[in-house]
Amino acid sequence: MKFLAMCSTGLGSSFMVRMNIETIVRELGLADVAVEHSDISSAGPGSADVFFVAKDLQDAAQGLGDVVVLNSIIDMDELRDAVKSAAARHGLL
């Protein structure tokens, strides 16, 4: 199972979201979840199982598959809920 955080350059904010997702994945004790980050133009539907983007990139991320849209990328509570429900959707919880 792979989670992918994305932003426009794949350098700063997606990396931060990735590290936060990794923290949450550890908290929840999810096994076999790889978390990565990238720029949105390199990502395709096969790049990951779940994609995380900020609200402002929602349109650009259409068509990738299971896309999670974050209202605020600095809100850990929102991210925790999003990771939990993504994990539940994919039968990890």
Binding test (CB under 8 A) with another protein, winner from 5, 21, 38, 50: 38
The answer to whether 85 contacts another protein (rule: CB under 8 A) is no
The Cα–Cα gap between 86 and 84 comes to: 5
Q: Can you say whether residue 65 is alpha, beta or left, with left for phi > 0 and alpha for psi between -120 and 50 degrees?
A: left
**Which stretch in 11-19, 26-34, 44-52, 80-88 sits in contact with another protein by CB under 8 A?**
11-19
Binding test (CB under 8 A) with another protein, winner from 48, 50, 54, 83: 54
Closest C-alpha to 57, from 43, 42, 69 = 69
Residues touching another protein, count (CB under 8 A) = 27
The answer to whether 24 contacts another protein (rule: CB under 8 A) is no
Work out how close the CB of 91 gets to another protein at its nearest, in angstroms, rounded to a whole number: 27
The Cα–Cα gap between 71 and 48 comes to: 21
66 CB-contact burial (10 Å; exposed 0-12 / middle 13-18 / buried 19+): middle
- Residues engaged in binding another protein (CB under 8 A): 7-13, 15-16, 19, 37-42, 54-57, 59-60, 70-74
